């Protein structure tokens, strides 16, 4: 295991918060409604793709940090609170959160021996495909979560980073024009993007792509409304 930060302490298999003040996990409420997080008595099981902050005894913080553990793990917070319609940064749309609070000595990770399970990879892809990945992850780092997630669960997709980049480049959109991929914007800030459900991507490409997508009924509607006149060679198969 790599060296842990100074504000944490390893105690057997547990990782404990090890300073005065408070550590807070910001868990989107959608994680709980989509079974990406679950409360079991005093413990919470969740996917480690989230934001956290450390507050000193005066309630001051140096800002948000990213918890980068793209698999399911368990923790034991001191308390849990619900927050409504909160903007963590100016680049993130307002969301509902459950905040998990940890005092000194609390288990931020209850066991470092996280089980290798294919269902953990499935949970990550559910979050990815529905467009619910936190946009506090910089755009140019999103592709790293694919191989890291499957590797932590004993697998390997056997793909290069460019292949993951293709998926990311279509899912990440310009927040000012969702029809346009983020890569076509000025990209001055790598967090100023939005992710969309992967099944919605075809409707922003061409009418043909829309009607040949997974969601047929919605595809027909999208095709009729799509004003993109770009020609797709495969259209000849349906029109000749």
- Position 208 scores a pLDDT of 59
Confidence of residue 202 (pLDDT cuts 50, 70, 90): confident
HEC profile of the chain: CCCCCCCEEEECCEEEECCCCEEEEEEEHHHHHCCCEEEECCEEEEEEEEEEEEECCCCCECCCEEEEEEEEEEEECCEEEEEEEECCCCCCCCEEEEEEEECCCCEEECCCCCCCCHHHHHHHHHHHHCCCCCCCCCHHHHHHHHHHHHHHCCCCCCCCHHHHHHHHHHHEEECCEEEEEHHHCCCCCCCCCEECCHHHHHHHCCHHHHHCCCCHHHHHHHHHHCCCCCCCHHHHHHHC
**pLDDT score of 32 more than 60:** yes
- Position 224 scores a pLDDT of 57
Q: Provide mean pLDDT across the span 104-130.
A: 90
Prediction pTM value: 0.83
Q: Provide mean pLDDT across the span 86-104.
A: 90
**pLDDT score of 75 more than 90:** yes
**pLDDT score of 191 more than 70:** yes
Confidence of residue 239 (pLDDT cuts 50, 70, 90): very low
Confidence of residue 198 (pLDDT cuts 50, 70, 90): confident
Query: Hey, which of 52-56, 207-211, 222-226 has the most confident mean pLDDT?
Result: 52-56
More confident residue, 128 or 172: 172
């Amino acid at each position: 295991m790599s060296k842990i930060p100074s504000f944490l302490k390893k105690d057997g298999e547990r990782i404990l918060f090890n300073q005065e003040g408070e550590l807070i996990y910001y868990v989107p409420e959608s994680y709980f409604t989509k079974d990406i997080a679950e409360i079991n008595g005093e413990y919470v099981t969740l996917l480690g793709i989230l934001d956290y902050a450390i507050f000193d005894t005066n309630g001051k913080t140096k800002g948000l940090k990213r918890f980068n553990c793209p698999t399911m793990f368990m923790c034991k917070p001191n308390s849990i609170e619900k927050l409504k319609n909160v903007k963590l940064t100016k680049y993130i749309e307002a969301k509902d959160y459950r905040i998990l609070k940890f005092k000194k000595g609390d288990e931020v990770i209850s066991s470092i021996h996280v089980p290798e399970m294919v269902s953990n990879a499935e949970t990550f892809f559910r979050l990815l495909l529905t467009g619910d990945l936190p946009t506090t992850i910089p755009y140019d780092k999103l592709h790293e979560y694919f191989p890291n997630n499957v590797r932590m669960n004993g697998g390997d997709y056997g793909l290069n980073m460019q292949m993951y980049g293709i998926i990311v480049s279509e899912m990440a959109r310009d927040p000012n024009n969702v029809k346009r991929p983020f890569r076509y914007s000025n990209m001055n800030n790598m967090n100023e993007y939005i992710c969309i459900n992967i099944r919605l991507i075809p409707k922003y490409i061409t009418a043909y792509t829309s009607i040949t997508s997974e969601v047929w009924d919605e595809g027909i509607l999208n095709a009729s409304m799509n004003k993109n006149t770009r020609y797709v060679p495969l259209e000849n198969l349906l029109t000749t």
